[in-house]
Amino acid sequence: MMANEHGFNILALVDEQVADVVRIAVAEVGGCLLAVEGGQSPFELVEHGAAVDLVLFDPDAVLMAAADGMALLKASCPTCEIALILGDHDITMDVELMKIGAYDSLPKPPAKDDLVRMFRGLLEKNETERENRALVEALGQGRAQTIISHSPEMEKVLSMAARAAQSDSTVLITGESGTGKELVARAIHLSGPRKHKLFVPVNIAALPENLIESELFGHVKGAFTGAMTDRTGRFALADGGTLFIDEIGEVPPGIQVKLLRVLQFGSYERVGENTPRDSDVRIIAATNRDLEAEVRLGRFRADLYYRVNVVPVALPALRDHRSDIPYLVEYFIKKYAARNKKAVKGITGEAMSRIMRYPFPGNVRELENVLERGAVLSRGEYLTETDIFLPTEADGDAADLSLPAGGYDEAMSTFERAMLARVLERNAHNKSAAARELGINERRLRYRLKVLGLE
């Protein structure tokens, strides 16, 4: 089988005892299993440029010691990850093989679920690295090309972010939903000393509460019902790099204590494990909440707030730097016209006037969604008023102030139902994105949708 240039290519140097389960697991993750054909040796296949992401290596299958095979494979393909299938599998051998570059090791014969778990972990790692490489190219010399900053308000923000990037201190980015907090976090990471390591984001609001601890710190097999295998947490994945904790205000109180310990002592424990693990991670956190108010209300620990809020970066709402809107409009029109192969060159004065009058409660994200839709649906070279979908009285989206028969409660439910439906539509029915725009967590949004009959 030929290598897929843009896919997930696995070279399996295994015997027939495990070949079938490998084929099933590769197919489950949508990968491409490379075959050794025409008597060509596996090392020649790698050496001659096959696009291999992972080599599954069974030393018994090629009659070679594990360390010797590792050395040959690494010399032939330095960028390949190598996972070993070992008949004689023990922790001491694992440690030694990891030291010389093994990605993982599994007992022989491996379970299909363990293979799938390993493949998906590597896919996630590869995707994160590809995303980071693309961002490095896009962000240039520490300033993101997609952060439009012609206004004094944004110049002040980027000046603070640039100074924060040169340190290793914890950063807290605050601002309303849709203001670009993650984009600024990536710019800080890619401008700092850890730019060659991973930037790993985690959105707390998008996680079920009972999985937040496992997602952050990882867990061991059997730690709780459903924990069928070990799981690598985001702290381990981000080791040496940056962990971006979005919506940190949503971290439950019990986990806030463990997060504080990592920030204070640089160590944590996986769920179900009593052995502390060292953590070399820079934390950048973000929230659309007023954490000082949350501290006063007893919902957020004061000591954690002070640890997180070492370098504060406050992003302004779009309505507070409206002079950037024309530049953002130009950027997004070019971006989505090119992406969708449309001949859109710009926007009419009337359409721009309408955009400038609108308050954009969803900030830059809402503006981007409006312009993406306009660019996709437009039939001309310039976006007109009819291409710009914004809730206004003329569009029939203004609230009806006449009281319905059901009284106040029905009126408020009708208003909330219409508002949530509009926000969901703006975010292509992505509940995580809609919750961020609304400034609430996803659990609360799902609850309201269920109550209002919109789920």
373 and 269 inside one domain: no
**H or E segment to which residue 424 belongs:** helix 407-426
Q: Percent of the chain, pLDDT > 70?
A: 81
Are both 104 and 185 inside the same structural domain? no
User: What is the DSSP pairing of strand 171-174 with strand 282-287?
Assistant: parallel
| Dihedral sign from CA coordinates of 157, 160, 162, 164 | negative
- 293 and 220 belong to one structural domain: yes
pLDDT one-digit tens code per residue, 112-129 = 988 998 888 888 777 766
Residues 174, 108, single domain; the answer is no
Domain-embedded: residue 134? no
Task: Give the span between the Cα atoms of 166 and 191, in whole angstroms.
Answer: 7
- 294 and 323 in one domain? no
Rounded to whole angstroms, the Cα distance separating 344 from 387 reads 11
The predicted structure's pLDDT at residue 222: 60
301, 295 Cβ separation under 8 angstroms: yes
Q: Do the domain assignments include residue 442?
A: no
In this predicted model, what pLDDT tens digit does every residue of 366-422 receive, in sequence order? 999 999 999 998 888 899 888 898 875 334 343 344 555 555 566 667 777 777 887
Residue 28 lies in a domain: yes
- The reply to whether 290 and 170 lie within a common domain is yes
Residue 417 lies in a domain: no
Instruction: List the CATH number of the domain containing 230.
Output: 3.40.50.300
Q: How many domains does the chain have?
A: 3
Does residue 157 sit in the same domain as residue 249? yes
CATH of the domain at 326: 1.10.8.60
Q: What stretches of 213-273 adopt beta strand conformation (E)?
A: 218-219, 231-232, 242-246, 267-268
Q: Does residue 151 share a domain with residue 100?
A: no
Give residue 144's pLDDT: 45
User: Are 161 and 310 part of one and the same domain?
Assistant: yes
> Pick from 289, 316, 343: which residue ends a domain?
316
Q: Is residue 132 part of a domain?
A: no
**Would 412 be classed as within a structural domain?**
no
Q: Tell me the residue range of the domain where 366 lies.
A: 319-390
d(CA 126, CA 9): 12
Residue 342 belongs to a domain: yes
Choose the final residue of a domain: 360, 390, 420: 390
- Regions of the chain with pLDDT less than 70: 1-7, 35-50, 88-96, 98-100, 128-146, 222-228, 392-412, 455
Check whether residue 309 and residue 326 sit in a common domain: no
Domain co-membership, 268 together with 333: no
379 domain residue, yes or no: yes
CB 49 within 8 A of CB 83: no
pTM of the entire predicted model: 0.60
The two structure tokens encoding residue 243 = 């962990």
